[in-house]
Amino acid sequence: MATKLRMPTLAFAALSICLNLAIIGCAGQTINFFVTEQKINVWLLPIWPNHFDTRELQALIGTSAAILVLNVVLAISLFVKKLPANVIVLATSILSVVCSLIAIIFPTIVNGQAPGRDTLQTWTCRWSSTSINRGQGPPSGFDTICHETRFAFYTTIPVFILQLLLLFLALYTLATARSSTRERGVVSDVEKSQSQHELGEVRNHSFDTKNSGSPQSRQEGVMGAKGVSFA
């Protein structure tokens, strides 16, 4: 990869890694809260556990972990000269874009099933925004879970944009490399034609030199020499 494109590529990958770590942290903490509080917290409905759908958070954690690994591989390929950086950046960027799309589309579909079947985001955000029990606040921890789940979900949008930027840089790098290769091929063809032309001129010059030393010219030289001696 060209030196001028390494720094922006590395910067986008590093920012994506940080965002995905934040997604994994928030989603993982929310799932941990649900697992530990499900059977003792009345607001998480221990008698109705099948009402909640945690696939949203599982998808966020899985896709973020995959993107994280892909971005790390991309960053490593920029420093190891033996690796084909252009190919690795392109392959990892394509896979990251696919994972980012899954991270956006699947949770959107799952959240759209509420209130028939709630996710932790829809459930906690609904109760945290409602005054219950004659003016009392929402259940303890619900406001935090609501913000964490929303942050984990909406952060997938900038992550998706970063993966698109990485893919654009990879495609631009390959296009530039191909154009430079074609230019080198054209230059090499011109140099070959010039060298062949010069070689032809050298051969013609050597052929003329040989003709100047032909037997006929030698015979004329000998006759001239004889004429001088007879005189």
Averaged pLDDT, 32-54:
81
With beta carbons less than 8 A apart as the criterion, state whether 97 and 167 touch: yes
pLDDT given for residue 229 in this prediction = 40
At 2-29, the pLDDT tens digits run 667 889 999 999 999 999 999 999 999 9
pLDDT given for residue 219 in this prediction = 52
pLDDT band at 134 (very low <50, low <70, confident <90, very high): low
pLDDT given for residue 154 in this prediction = 96
Torsion angle (degrees, nearest 10) of CA 64, 25, 13, 65: -30
At 93-108, the pLDDT tens digits run 999 999 999 999 999 9
Measured CA to CA, the distance from residue 53 to residue 117 in angstroms comes to 7
Which residues contact residue 139 at a Cβ distance below 8 angstroms, ignoring those fewer than 6 apart?
41, 43, 127, 128
Determine if the peptide bond prior to 84 is cis (ω within 30°): no
With beta carbons less than 8 A apart as the criterion, state whether 55 and 109 touch: no
